[in-house]
Amino acid sequence: MIRQTAGLTQQEMADLMKVSKAYISFLESGKKEPNLSFIKRFASEFDVPVLLLLWDDFHDVDQKNLNPELKKLMDQVVTMLKVHFFDQISKRYAKKS
């Protein structure tokens, strides 16, 4: 989870994203889905491509027509990108502490 990787509390994340702490809590618990505006702000704030934020939802879509080898390669690339971006976020926010 990016918030935890950045070492932010729910309140700090809410302040950063200009939303309520309750909204962050609802998102994290799965009780709400973020709107596109929030996703774009989040991606911008944490310098993460929107695709990485949406990958799991895309991945869940019926992909019968997708070549299995291509799907596997895409999953591997996204995993590597996530590791990279989480590492960058961790380093960036560690410097702010």
Structural domain count of the chain: 1
pLDDT in tens, 65-80: 667 787 787 788 888 8
pTM score of the predicted model: 0.66
Q: Residue 14, Cβ neighbours under 10 Å: how many?
A: 18
CA 51 to chain centre: 9
The residue-averaged pLDDT of 78-88 equals: 84
Task: Give the per-residue pLDDT at 87.
Answer: 85
Digit-coded pLDDT (tens) for 7-54: 999 999 999 999 999 999 999 998 999 998 999 999 998 888 888 887
The whole domain housing 60 covers 2-96
Which CATH number is 45's domain given? 1.10.260.40
In this predicted structure, what is the pLDDT of residue 74? 76
